[in-house]
Amino acid sequence: MKLLLYGADQNSISQDDIHRYILSDEEAKKQLNDLKSLDGVDELIIYNNEWFTEYYFLVDETLFQHGDFLTYLSNSTEKEIDEVILDTYSKFNADLITHLLTVLVGIDFEMNSVAFLADAEKAVVESGEELENTFLNQLFIQAVQFISELRTLPELHDMFQSRTDLTLQHILTCFRHLIFNRFYIAGSEEYIVALGKMLYRNGAQHITLSSTDKARDADIIQSLNDWAESLSSKPLKKNFYTPITKNAQLYYLSSADGIIIEQITEEPGSKEEWFYDQLNQLLKEIETIRHNKKKQCLFILNEENNEFSCDDMEQKIYNITPDTEVSLSIETQVEVAKDYFERQAELETEKLYTSYKIYSKEM
């Protein structure tokens, strides 16, 4: 058996041809079904987004023919095989694992978005395989978990400066063990889902979410609770919540140890303006639920002039604003962080590759 990767990304392909390789969701599903039928393919995950498309194979070397895959890619891209070979890159075994860890942090694309983690989780779901029965699915799950934990290390803060990372870094300065704290996150769907997942992966077990589109809240919470359950072999209690009524919102706000608010530029009369007006009013009404003061940390993302206040809370307020200016000293610190990441990735690769060797012997 052999771990095999073929990939194409915006760094390896000309801009004129990138559209030939980047797949829509439907195209990825079709290719997944087609390629699973090739001789020697035991497992396959297609990890794709707007930046790259990567094919992760577990193959039987005695049956799998590289030419079959390259021919398929040639037909799908409408390019000659020799051009496909030049456009794509490949990795094997331990190098594949190191590459996956690197891709998950976005180093090669000068990005540090947690969206790459969400794309990897989506790829596992789309693979259509039982999670516990396939090595590639377990590899992706463990790699995402490793990178999620790595992003919280102080040694890597200079490397991870996305909106979600900055918020999590501030949260971890307030709370030592997230398992003992309750959190309330308000903002856009993309932000609250990404931060909610990061908090959960780092130990939080009671997370309330409120999006600017209230009609989406129930579906968001159901999806997150399903996601959390998929990560565990044991049945879990519910970890994600959303307030349905005003009294429920007051309860969740008053009982939260950390309240995180993503500020979005709102147009007059928009649903975002109404959302923040209501949230500000609710914060001021907390005393109707709780008559004793409670120490809470209030985190406000991208808010220069804090409009949120509550006299009842003994608040410690953090205003979080991503720094768009990069100085020479910061660039040096980022390089130091990258070196640290590479050392950690090397150690994790050894661990995961050992698991692979055990798995391959049992097959």
Let me know if residue 331 belongs to a domain. no
* pLDDT of the residue at 288: 67
Same domain flag for 191 and 53: no
Q: Are residues 169 and 289 in the same domain?
A: yes
- The DSSP code sequence of 59-97 is E-TTT--HHHHHHHHHHHHT--HHHHHHH-EEEEHHHHH
Residue 246 DSSP SS3: helix
Query: Is residue 182 located within the same domain as residue 83?
Result: no
pLDDT given for residue 156 in this prediction? 87
pTM of structure: 0.83
In a domain, 170, yes or no: yes
Query: Cβ neighbours of residue 18 under 8 Å, at least 6 residues apart?
Result: 10
CATH code, domain carrying 184: 3.40.50.720
Q: Give the CA dihedral 268, 271, 275, 278, nearest 10 degrees.
A: 70
- Phi-psi region for residue 43, left (φ > 0), alpha (ψ -120 to 50) or beta? beta
Contact yes or no for 205/239 (Cβ under 8 A): yes
Indicate the SS3 state at residue 210.
strand
> Where in the chain does DSSP place strands (E)?
2-9, 41-48, 52-59, 89-92, 182-187, 206-211, 240-241, 258-262, 295-301, 314-320
Indicate whether 44 and 84 sit together in one domain. Answer: yes
Same domain, 30 and 127: yes
* 341 class by beta-carbon count within 10 Å (0-12 exposed, 13-18 middle, 19+ buried): buried
Residue 177 falls inside a structural domain: yes
User: Distance between CA 143 and CA 117 in Å, rounded?
Assistant: 9
The total number of structural domains in the chain stands at 2
In a domain, 329, yes or no: no
Q: Same structural domain for residues 64 and 174? A: no
Cross-strand partners of 262: 301
pLDDT at 327: 47
**Farthest-apart Cα atoms in the chain, separation:** 73
Q: Would you state the pLDDT for residue 323? A: 58
Residue 326 maps to a domain: no
- Please give the single-letter amino acid code of residue 227: W
The CATH number covering residue 116 comes to 3.30.460.30
Q: Is residue 267 part of a domain?
A: yes
Answer whether residue 325 is part of any domain: no
282 with 306, same domain?
yes
Residue 237, domain extent: 162-320
Which portions of the chain are predicted below pLDDT 70?
109-113, 129-132, 233-236, 265-272, 274, 287-291, 302-330
Q: Are residues 215 and 241 in the same domain?
A: yes
User: Looking at the domain assignment, is residue 18 inside a domain?
Assistant: yes
65 and 19 share one domain: yes
Indicate if 114 and 168 belong to the same structural domain: no
Same-domain check for residues 92 and 26: yes
pLDDT at 305: 47
In a shared domain, residues 144 and 205: no
Give a three-class secondary structure readout of 247-268: HHHHHHHHHCCEEEEECCCCCC
The β-bridge relationship of strands 41-48 and 52-59 is antiparallel
The confidence score (pLDDT) of residue 54 equals 97
Let me know: does 183 contact 298? Beta carbons within 8 Å. no
CA-closest candidate to residue 43, choices 60, 30, 29: 60
